[in-house]
Amino acid sequence: MDRRRTFGILLAIAALAAIVATGCRVNRPANDHARQQILYDTLGGDPRTFNPVLVTDATSGSLLADTFEGLVTANPKTTLPEARLAESWEIGDGGKSITFHLRHGVKWSDGEPFTSHDVAFTMRAIYDKRVPNSMRPILTIDGKQIEVETPDPFTVVMRLPRPFAPLLYSISFEILPAHILERALNDGSFTRTWGIDTPPEKIVGLGSFLPTRYVPAQAATLKRNLDFWMKDDHGGQLPRLHGKDYLIVQDRQASYMKFLSGQTDVYQPYPNEVLDLRGKAKSLDITITEMGVDTGELFFCFNRNPKHYVKNGKADPKLEWFTDLNFLRAIAHSIDKQGIINLCYHGLAVPAVSDISPANKLFHDPNLKDYDYDLKLAAQMLEAGGYHLGPDGKRIDSHGNLIVFNLTTNTGAPERNQMCTILKQDLATLGITANYRPLEFTTLVEKLDSSFDWDCVMIGFTGTIEPNNGANFLRSSGNLHLWYPDQPKPATSWEAEIDKLLEEGTAEMDVQKRVPYYWRIQEILHDQLPIIETVRQIRYDARRNSLENYDLTVWGLYRPEYIQFREN
């Protein structure tokens, strides 16, 4: 899902820059990294799980991305599907079946062979209703599951209810080891298996790196998988790096200082840091590259979940506000996007209007009209909706309730903190009180996907090349349908329309003819405002010049297995 950023407030920089997570010094010179062929990087928080099916946060996803493999993946340069564990495939039965031919000789990290049974087991886990996950909505077609057959250990046949255009993007999920996890799925303990209390060396994967150490709030270490299936063009060992060391640094400024001091090798700078790094590039021996507009989105969202607001038959008045278009449109007109770009992003961002980023050139709708920043208009909309100013300058609803709600985002993100503060101040001029309090990231995620105890959040989600891969967010029954997840049936007619458009869009096999379905979804989100878009950052990458074959795009790393340090 994620779509999460890293964080930062400057605290005791000198100490943080000198101390590793474990308390040991890691102030190594950059050439040490080259000699060891170990990439040093940071994570913005702790993972929430080591089970890839259960991942809903970016930190867990980032840490596990190198440990597991999928049948196919999207090439970040061409954005086209390419082979991974599936060596080849054929589509048959008029698009209603696909046969995958798996690579021979691939082994799990414990030495067991990878077979078609692992693929079938993973699909069974995804479809198991006892297992909450973000992939089930993506792999559900007209309410039906994909049937999986395994005629032999190296062949997987998937039978679909109908032709399904996004299939090759939807099945890029990580494959699980059946010989390790099947018993847990059978006995109902799967969701408690491979939690963060599991010793990392017990995690069995197929990927290029394997976890060896995790210290909460401090560090995580991966080592090269010597049995990784991929070889270079000359039959040489891949990956070329021997390992990856991550420091868990929730404070973004501290993370930046670690890069400046040579303790980490790669960094994605924020706008104020881009300007700083450009002036230091030569002395630091680094390269800064502009990648383009962010693929994801950063938005405000109001909670519409009756599980939180309706108790003992009585509804909290907030639920009425947060589903009222007069209220929501007034909020949309209260967001000073240009001010945010100038103040928070030093000009290195663009206004966000649509759910799909302009980086997705095929599916982005460029025709939507933005909500102009206009507090006078916002006040008029509030008045029209029955939200009137009292004699004390505070706004009340038609029942006399003060308009007060809680606003949050994740701690340690200066831009988000500034954006929430700006909105809080502008709402105050309208007589609305937003009680702003940022939360530590894992606490925030817990509220969003478990307790549902929140009013308004600013959060970011990553983008996808294939729009249907966001079905867990868009579909009313999706677990990441943030404002009201896991709906038994669509709560509104427009959510029902989005559900229908998602089904129809996947049934159209001509990619150009699919575009109108996703443009319409963007239009509905823009008009109904379950999410209120803010801005999209222009993304940059910074890396040590000693790092070779490090080719990062807005869609991800290109051929990461070939990354290595140049040895002097």
Q: pTM here?
A: 0.83
Each residue's pLDDT, cut to its tens digit, for the chain (568 residues) gives: 332 222 222 222 222 233 233 333 334 445 566 668 999 999 988 999 999 999 988 889 999 999 999 999 999 999 999 999 999 999 999 999 999 999 999 999 999 999 999 999 999 999 999 999 989 999 999 999 999 999 999 999 999 999 999 999 999 999 999 999 999 999 999 999 999 999 999 999 999 999 999 999 999 999 999 999 999 999 999 999 999 999 999 888 899 999 999 999 999 999 989 989 999 999 999 999 999 999 999 999 999 999 999 998 899 999 999 999 999 999 999 999 999 999 999 999 999 999 999 999 999 999 999 999 999 999 999 999 999 999 999 999 999 999 999 999 999 888 999 999 999 999 999 999 999 999 998 899 999 989 999 999 999 998 999 999 999 999 999 989 999 999 999 999 999 999 999 999 999 999 999 999 999 999 999 999 999 999 999 999 999 999 999 999 999 999 999 999 997 6
Residue 538 to residue 562: CA distance in whole angstroms: 26
- In the 8-state DSSP scheme, what is residue 447? I
- C-alpha span between 554 and 76 (Å, rounded): 8
Cα distances from 494 to residues 324, 480, 497, 499, in angstroms, run 14, 17, 5, 9
Contact (Cβ atoms closer than 8 angstroms) between residue 310 and residue 319? yes
CA atoms within 13 A on the CB side of 326: 14
**CB 264 within 8 Å of CB 26:** no
Q: Report the C-alpha gap between 216 and 160 in whole angstroms.
A: 42
Beta strands 531-533 and 297-302, pairing class: antiparallel
Task: Decide: 109 and 141 in contact? Cβ < 8 Å.
Answer: no
**What gap in Å lies between CA 184 and CA 474, rounded to an integer?**
30
Q: What are 6's two structure tokens?
A: 């890293």
d(CA 317, CA 214) in angstroms, rounded, equals 44
Which residues make Cβ contacts (< 8 Å) with residue 535, sequence separation at least 6?
A: 298, 337, 340, 341, 345, 349, 350, 351, 352
CA distances to 62, 73, 168 from 82, rounded to whole Å, are: 20, 6, 9
Is the C-alpha dihedral spanning 135, 141, 147, 148 positive or negative?
A: negative
Question: Does residue 305 contact residue 530 with C-beta atoms inside 8 Å?
Answer: no
